[in-house]
Chain A
Amino acid sequence: MKKGFSIILSVVLITSAASLFESCGKGQPSAPPNSEVGLVFDVGGRGDKSFNDAAYLGLQMAKDSLGIKYQYIEPSGGSDRESALRQLASQKSIGLVFGVGFIFTDDITNVAKDFPDKKFACIDYSYDSTKALPKNLIAIEFRENEGSFLVGAIAGLMTKTNKVGFIGGMESPLIRKFQAGYQAGVKYVNPRCKVLVAYAGVTGEAFKNPAKGKELALSQYSQGADIIYHASGVTGLGVFEAARELKRYAIGVDMDQWNEAPGFVLTSMVKKGNVAVYDIIKEWKQGKFNGGTAEIFGLRDNGVDFVYDKNNKPLIPDAVYKKVESLRTDIIDGKIKVPTQ
């Protein structure tokens, strides 16, 4: 026993000594007020290979090219979101605070009102145009329908069966925006093409159910669809599995999902959280933070896009690519209006 005690004691002593040395070495100078950026992740946190990671990438871009320092928090539950926002906002050195995900909508609105001197921005904020946003808050929205229009056009031009599929996660206005854009894109280039539509469910669980995703995908493929676009989070992994098994095409969402089924991922509709985070930080640094409104990231702002790189280039004929690029220009120029619902 005595031995055990002395081991514990020495551990304590060593760690304290080591940390003393360290603290001598550092001597952190305190950062100037309102110079740093804070960010609160959604519960998924870093490593989700999607939205949170994209936001983090934006922070890093800002650090590298604007020299911005940042701090972030990964909350673990519902009551932590507001506390985390408050904690960052109350630090003198932090001038701009991000919330990642629609679930922050209420929390960030409240906190923004309590810290009128600080700036806030929320990715995917559920913006209600009947309610006024606080002047120091930007609601970041994406035109997912525009990106979906382009991948829809690719599907419509490349289908051989004149049937393509769409699989959504939770049936909600947000996901219907993906569906509407996709359908419009397909029909624009190929009016005779049929679009099969299925949703995995009406709850948040519908984003986490690969088995259901596979089932729906197999069903659509067996009905003759040869390309399926999914907007269903983790559920989509099941779609890729079905694509691999039947050797048909699938289209990814949010990030480049080529690696989920190499050779069968025609393209991915990417939503660039990093671009949004970076742009807002840049505007804020230049003193051009435009709060109280929604800031919308569409094709024009490079906020949404589709993947066309060395992996999937061989899959997409040049003519198709050229046609889709011309559609992009038409959308940016306002010649094509992409529906949202």
Chain B
Amino acid sequence: MATKKHWLEHPATQNFVIPILAVVLSFAVGAVFILIVGQNPFEVYSILFSQTLGTTYGIGQLLFKTTPLIFAGLSVALCFRAGLFNIGAEGQLQIGAFMTALVGMYTLGVPSFIEIPLLVAAGMVGGGLWGFIPGYLKAKTGAHEVINTIMLNFVAAALVSYFVTNIYNVPATVHTPPIAPTGRIPRFDAIFSGFEGSPVNFSLLIALLAALSVWYYVERTRYGYELRVVGLNSKAAEYGGISVSKNIILSMTIGGAIAGLVGTNFVMGYKYYFEEGFSTGTGFMGIAVALLGNNSPFGVVLAALLFGMLEYGGLVINTMVPKELVSILQAIVIIFVISSNKIFRRILVNFLKKRILSVND
């Protein structure tokens, strides 16, 4: 008689249970640090959860933080599937968001149904260009994308900083003039009053749409198939008649374009201008989001939600614990979740073995 499978044996449940277990344990380790700074972990955590998930305003803030993380995570994940490590999402999103703001300030009076797609496209072109460069260099010269994307991050930051402070600057500020009012993406609180005050806006839908598109592209199209084959084994792909260099360029460009959409959230949906320093490492967080989300678009959305909660939650508990502790907590979660896969799987397997043995006895 075949033994019935324990519910924990299914890989799908394991993929779900393991990250959750990891998050719970990382919070437990975080509690030790909270104790060290002399606060009560229960109190801190209860505030963290109640003020992020317990109010509509908190959820709005959380979703506002989630949106850029989805874009950055998708960007990194897509490149990962092609076997490329895109550390350049930060630079790509800077250039993309800046392009959005730049086009937005010169296109006053254009009706919304043209202006919004135009600004979205501007962001994608800017980010796409910043992804194309390392992709092209990798494909044509073999120059490693990790080094080139890191270097381009510096170039992007310096370029944008130069333009914002020297040329497109509103005096006594660190931001550009506002974009055309028709290019604004409406905020949630314009429709649902519960979100009052939180800057979450409909660029979240663009993010979800992007996730869906990436999924469809990677899993359901011929191009996506080629991309995956290149990622799994580029030599075999070449042998099978798939152009590796074309796929490298294409995936880096698309990845960059997705990262470039971050401006939809901050520039088009929140401040209506580009501000120097608006992104504090969103692109790098994207790497963690992609890893935690197992490089699948659906996983990326979930991971972005978790990190969105941690980011806003960090601000919420900042009155009780120092900023540094918040960063420690975030880092612990990332480390736990990413290293947990093997460890917890083994624990699970051991646990199951014993159960099955004892049942058989």
Binding site for B on A (CB under 8 A): 1-2, 4-5, 8, 11-12, 15-16, 18-20, 22-23, 26, 38, 43, 45, 71-80, 82-84, 86-88, 90, 102-103, 105-106, 114, 126, 170, 172-174, 202-205
Task: Known contacts A126-B172, A173-B172, A203-B165; decide if A82 and B318 are in contact (CB<8 Å).
Answer: no
Please, which residue of chain B has its CB at the minimum distance from the CB of A103? B174
Task: Known contacts A83-B315, A204-B161; decide if A22 and B32 are in contact (CB<8 Å).
Answer: no
Q: What's the least CB distance linking A303 to chain B, in Å?
A: 20
B316 within 8 A of A: yes
B241 within 8 A of A: no
B162 within 8 A of A: yes
Say which one of B209-217, B277-285, B294-302 lies at the interface with A.
B277-285
B40 within 8 A of A: yes
Q: B318 touches which one: A15, A73, A174 (CB < 8 A)?
A: A73
Task: Known contacts A1-B346, A16-B31, A88-B319; decide if A77 and B279 are in contact (CB<8 Å).
Answer: yes
B361 within 8 A of A: no
Q: A15 touches which one: B28, B65, B315 (CB < 8 A)?
A: B28
Q: What's the least CB distance linking A199 to chain B, in Å?
A: 13
Chain B residues, CB < 8 A from A23: 40, 42-43
Q: How far is the CA of A327 from the CA of B57 in the complex (A)?
A: 54
Chain B residues, CB < 8 A from A79: 64-65, 199, 266, 270-271, 278
B199 adjacent to A74 (CB under 8 Å): no
Q: How far is the CA of A75 from the CA of B314 in the complex (A)?
A: 9
Binding site for A on B (CB under 8 A): 25, 28-29, 31-32, 35, 40-43, 51, 57, 61, 64-65, 161-162, 165-166, 171-174, 197-199, 266, 270-271, 275-280, 312, 314-316, 318-319, 322-323, 343, 346-347, 350
Q: Summarize A's interface: helix, strand, loop or mixed.
A: helix
Q: How far is the CA of A122 from the CA of B165 in the complex (A)?
A: 23
B40 adjacent to A75 (CB under 8 Å): no
A19 adjacent to B346 (CB under 8 Å): no
Q: Which 6 A-B pairs have the closest CB atoms?
A: A77-B280, A203-B165, A78-B278, A71-B319, A12-B28, A15-B31
Q: How far is the CA of A23 from the CA of B35 in the complex (A)?
A: 12
B64 adjacent to A172 (CB under 8 Å): no
Most buried by B among A15, A18, A20, A79: A79
Most buried by B among A5, A74, A83: A83
A202 adjacent to B166 (CB under 8 Å): yes
Task: Known contacts A15-B32, A23-B40, A79-B199; decide if A8 and B166 are in contact (CB<8 Å).
Answer: no
Q: How far is the CA of A196 from the CA of B279 in the complex (A)?
A: 38
Chain B residues, CB < 8 A from A172: 171-172
Chain B residues, CB < 8 A from A38: 319
Please, which residue of chain A has its CB at the minimum distance from the CB of B29? A11
B32 adjacent to A11 (CB under 8 Å): yes
Task: Report 12 cross-chain contacts, Cβ distance below 8 Å, ordered by A residue.
Answer: A1-B346, A4-B343, A15-B28, A22-B40, A78-B279, A78-B280, A106-B173, A114-B197, A126-B172, A126-B173, A172-B172, A173-B171
A102 adjacent to B172 (CB under 8 Å): yes
Q: What's the least CB distance linking A98 to chain B, in Å?
A: 14
Q: What's the least CB distance linking A208 to chain B, in Å?
A: 11
Q: What's the least CB distance linking B275 to chain A, in Å?
A: 5
Q: What's the least CB distance linking A223 to chain B, in Å?
A: 27
Q: What's the least CB distance linking A255 to chain B, in Å?
A: 22
Chain B residues, CB < 8 A from A88: 319
A76 adjacent to B323 (CB under 8 Å): yes
Q: How far is the CA of A82 from the CA of B57 in the complex (A)?
A: 13
Q: How far is the CA of A170 from the CA of B280 in the complex (A)?
A: 22
Chain B residues, CB < 8 A from A126: 172-173
Q: How far is the CA of A45 from the CA of B324 in the complex (A)?
A: 11
Q: How far is the CA of A20 from the CA of B42 in the complex (A)?
A: 8
Q: How far is the CA of A119 from the CA of B110 in the complex (A)?
A: 40
Please, which residue of chain A has its CB at the minimum distance from the CB of B34? A19
Chain B residues, CB < 8 A from A84: 315, 318
Q: How far is the CA of A277 from the CA of B29 in the complex (A)?
A: 38
Q: What's the least CB distance linking A82 to chain B, in Å?
A: 7
Q: How far is the CA of A235 from the CA of B318 in the complex (A)?
A: 30
Q: How far is the CA of A78 from the CA of B51 in the complex (A)?
A: 21
Q: How far is the CA of A12 from the CA of B42 in the complex (A)?
A: 12
Q: How far is the CA of A306 from the CA of B51 in the complex (A)?
A: 45
Q: How far is the CA of A62 from the CA of B45 in the complex (A)?
A: 29
Chain B residues, CB < 8 A from A4: 343
Most buried by B among A2, A5, A88: A5
Task: Known contacts A8-B25, A102-B172; decide if A26 and B318 are in contact (CB<8 Å).
Answer: no
Q: B25 touches which one: A12, A16, A102 (CB < 8 A)?
A: A12
Q: What's the least CB distance linking A289 to chain B, in Å?
A: 22
Q: How far is the CA of A73 from the CA of B322 in the complex (A)?
A: 8
Please, which residue of chain B has its CB at the minimum distance from the CB of A110? B197
Task: Known contacts A174-B172, A204-B174; decide if A19 and B35 are in contact (CB<8 Å).
Answer: yes
Chain A residues, CB < 8 A from B315: 73, 75, 80, 83-84, 87
Chain B residues, CB < 8 A from A2: 350
Q: How far is the CA of A203 from the CA of B172 in the complex (A)?
A: 11
B162 adjacent to A203 (CB under 8 Å): yes
Q: What's the least CB distance linking B62 to chain A, in Å?
A: 11
Chain A residues, CB < 8 A from B25: 8, 12
Q: How far is the CA of A8 from the CA of B29 in the complex (A)?
A: 9
Task: Known contacts A1-B350, A19-B35, A82-B199; decide if A74 and B166 are in contact (CB<8 Å).
Answer: no
Q: B165 touches which one: A20, A73, A173, A204 (CB < 8 A)?
A: A204
Task: Known contacts A15-B31, A16-B31; decide if A72 and B41 are in contact (CB<8 Å).
Answer: no
Q: What's the least CB distance linking A171 to chain B, in Å?
A: 10
A83 adjacent to B172 (CB under 8 Å): no
A77 adjacent to B42 (CB under 8 Å): no
- Taking A45-B323, A72-B319 as known contacts, 13 extra A-B pairs with beta carbons closer than 8 A to each other, sorted by chain A number, are A15-B28, A19-B35, A20-B42, A43-B277, A77-B278, A82-B199, A86-B197, A102-B173, A105-B173, A114-B197, A170-B165, A174-B172, A205-B165
A203 adjacent to B166 (CB under 8 Å): yes
Chain A residues, CB < 8 A from B174: 103, 204
